[in-house]
Amino acid sequence: MSLFTEYLSRTAKEYGLILDEAKFAAFDRYYHLLIEWNEKINLTAITEPEEVAVKHIIDSLSCYDAAIFATGARVADVGTGAGFPGIPLKIFQPDLKLTLLDSLNKRLVFLQQVIDELKLCDVTVLHSRAEDAGKNKSQRESYRIVLSRAVARLNVLSEYCLPLVEKGGWFIAHKGAQYQAELAEADKAIVTLGGKVERVIPVQLPGLSDRRAVIYIRKLNTTPLIYPRKSGMPEKKPL
C-alpha cells in the first residue's frame, strides 16, 4: 500500500466513505499520474499525498448523495482542471456518464490519459468554454447533474452551469469559507437562470479547520435563451 493510499484509507474512514480495493487502486494510479503530469503542466499546487487525499479526493466526494446521483446519471464537470470533482466521483460510482469540460486543451490531454489508464467507460472530454457549451444544442439542458469546484464566484458560476442542467436536475457547487456571502450575492442569478437553492451542507474535511460547503441548486424552470451570454460577459458583468 502506497503512502497516498494509506492516507486515503484513513481519511475516507474518518469521513464515512467506503472504498473497495479496486477504487483504492484507481485513486492511487490517478494520484501518481497527477504528480507525473504536474511536472510538465500546471495542474495543482497541492501535491503532498495527505493533502491530495483530503483536499482533492475526499473534498470531491463530499458532494455525493445517492438520491441525486442516480444510476447512469449524465454528469458534467465544468472547469474540471485536473479532473476534480468529476474523476473521483466516476471512480466512486462507475456507472455515471461523465463529461469533463475545460477551456485549456493540455489539461484535457492529461485527463484523456487518466481515462485510458484507468479504463474509465462513458467519459468524454470537451474542449470548450462553459458559455459556448451552454449555447450548444447537444449540451444545453442535457445533464442531470452539473458540478463545479474552485472555478468562479457563485453568481458567475451559476450562469456557466445552470444552462447545462436539465429541468428537474441539479447544479452542485463546492464552495469555500465565503459561501454564505456568495449565496446572497448569487440569489438573483440563480432565480433568473431557473434555479432554486435546495440545501447548503457545511463540510468538515478530516484534519482541516477551514469552512467549506456544498451547495445544491435544483433546476425548476427552463433557462431563458439569452443565457449564457457570450464568452467573458458573465465574469465582466455578473447577473
pLDDT surpasses 90 at 151: no
Q: Is residue 72 annotated as involved in ligand binding? A: no
What is 65-236's CATH superfamily?
A: Vaccinia Virus protein VP39 (3.40.50.150)
pLDDT surpasses 80 at 57: yes
* 1 band by pLDDT with thresholds 50, 70 and 90: confident
* Global confidence as pTM: 0.95
How far is residue 41's CA from residue 34's CA, in Å, rounded to a whole number?
10
Of 168 and 151, the structure prediction assigns the larger pLDDT to: 168
Q: Is residue 131 annotated as involved in ligand binding? A: yes
Note whether 142 and 164 are within 8 A (CB): yes
**Grid coordinates representing 207?**
484534519
Q: Is residue 81 annotated as involved in ligand binding? A: no
**Grid coordinates representing 92?**
466512486
pLDDT surpasses 80 at 74: yes
Q: Is residue 218 annotated as involved in ligand binding? A: no
* 150 band by pLDDT with thresholds 50, 70 and 90: confident
Tell me the pairing of strands 212-219 and 165-175: antiparallel
The ranges assigned to domains in the chain are: 65-236
Give the model confidence (pLDDT) of 80-102 as tens digits.
999 999 999 999 999 999 999 99
